[in-house]
Chain A
Amino acid sequence: MSKPKVGFYWCASCGGCEEAVVDLATDILSVVAAVDIVFWPCAMDFKRSDVEAMADGEMAVCFINGAIRSTEQEEMAHLLRRKAQLIVAFGSCAHTGGIPGLANFYDREGVLQAAYGNAFSTVNPEGTRPATTVHVPEGELELPELYDNVKTLAQTVPVDYYLPGCPPPVALIVNAVNAILEGKLPPAGSVLAPDTAMCHDCDRKASKPDKPVIKEFKRPHQILIDPELCMLAQGLLCLGPETRSGCDSACIKGNMPCTGCQGPVSRVRDYGAKALSALASSLDANDDAEITTALADIADPAGTFYRYSLPASLLYRRLRPNGGSQK
């Protein structure tokens, strides 16, 4: 019997998800023994034409990481969707937009202006910008176009499963691969991680306050973090209460509050609104002025609560001043 064919691809991502595959360490040997990797441009020499030559549905599964924000990524997502029986959105960016999704606070012009103009480290006296066509001695090259918005993978093509995390924890990857190989997959559309909140298996759960106790919000650099006490009890913005578990609370074990990369549990529709709700209600203040002062210490609520999920939020992006929209 021939081995199931597997592909990996990256879109708007940092490469951390590819690292996570490498982090499988020796486990990767059993994966390689059980499957045929037929496409993984980050690690091996595969071309788009190799994928185009495949029959529809030839790959058993394709793991795609990264958000979608260019014509090339969109085309690849559609192509891989056609060639693979299962598409797994791999990591926060593919799942909910991730860090690249924060570009939805701006637009293409703002992003390009920052990167090719205003950035402190940019020297670009001629104002060169990325172009979709470039002339070279051999002729004219066509290059991908950057979108005005960042999309999640599921906003681009139908997605079968989601592996959350920035990057997905090794244990979840191993579980997912085994479930696929053994044909023991949950219903389509599932997130392949436990559906419990981070707090549920957090070592510090016992000290989690059941009443609003935060007098003042703190940022990690402002205090010496107690390594045993619940982060919320210390006034830190820990997003554990609404975040899906499955990462063995790695950040909290490293004495840093959860920033929510694993995305929401299934009962949460809008991650940011829920995170905001949980934190605001933990504030121990009833007076209008006191509340305003304490909450002003949260420097960037939208960026903090939608750090990994702005494109997947109910508002999707920041409103444009003129109300107009572009691709």
Chain B
Amino acid sequence: MSEPFEPRIVAFFCNWCTYTAADLAGTSRMTYAPNIRVVRIMCSGRLDPQFVLAALREGADGVLIGGCHPGDCHYQEGNYKALRRFTLLKTMLAQMGIEDERVRLEWIAASEGDKVQKVTNEMVEQIRKLGPLHLEAIPVPATAVACGEKGEA
């Protein structure tokens, strides 16, 4: 327990803009907090809100979503779809008692390696201040029972 808290952040970056920007940050040898685990998705519009909740359930302290700037989507409208879902998801997360800083959407173009650096560092610091996310464990049946087949719910 003496180890200081290191936030774990799952990042969903779109293939065409933000992931490329993260690549650029890397090849440009920019340094930024190593606390993010990037998942490449083809478009921020592919981001099912279930992914965000699943990441939080599986132990992430925050989720960062990166997509192309409005008007720049490789698929024309995917990032607008992401924005609509994100906006409603944020309202719902607030109702669930999850702090605003834990889930963030940023538009980061392929050329903006420095923005990846800035946003990541910023978010890591914010979540470091908040502390770990403690979701209550989902209860599991206490006893296995002899009769009857047991199936996955």
Contact = CB atoms under 8 A, between A and B. Distances in A.
B153 A276 contact: no
B129 interface: no
B149 A270 contact: no
Given A151-B139, A283-B84, A187 B151 contact: yes
Interface residues of A, number: 60
Contacts, number: 154
- Between B143, B150, B153, the greatest number of chain A beta carbons within 10 A of the residue's beta carbon is seen for B153
A280 B85 contact: yes
A87 B147 CA distance: 10
A129 interface: no
A319 B85 contact: no
B84 A281 contact: yes
Interface string A297-327: 0101111010000000111111111010100
A280 B91 CA distance: 12
- Between B52, B54, B87, the greatest number of chain A beta carbons within 10 A of the residue's beta carbon is seen for B87
Contacts of B56: 314-315
B88 interface: yes
Contacts of B118: none
Contacts of B84: 280-281, 283, 285, 291, 295
Interface in A133-179: 149, 151, 154-160, 162
Contact of A286 (B70, B96, B138, B143): B70
Contacts of B1: none
Contact of B92 (A272, A274, A281): A272
B49 interface: yes
B55 to A, nearest CB: 10
Given A188-B150, A286-B77, A325 B143 contact: no
A323 B48 contact: no
Nearest to A151: B139
A85 interface: yes
Given A270-B49, A302-B95, 15 more contacts: A57-B148, A84-B148, A160-B149, A189-B150, A189-B152, A276-B88, A280-B88, A286-B80, A288-B83, A292-B87, A295-B84, A298-B88, A302-B96, A315-B98, A321-B97
Interface of A: 56-57, 78, 81-82, 84-87, 105, 149, 151, 154-160, 162, 187-190, 212, 268-270, 272-274, 276-277, 279-281, 283, 285-286, 288, 291-292, 295, 298, 300-303, 305, 313-321, 323, 325
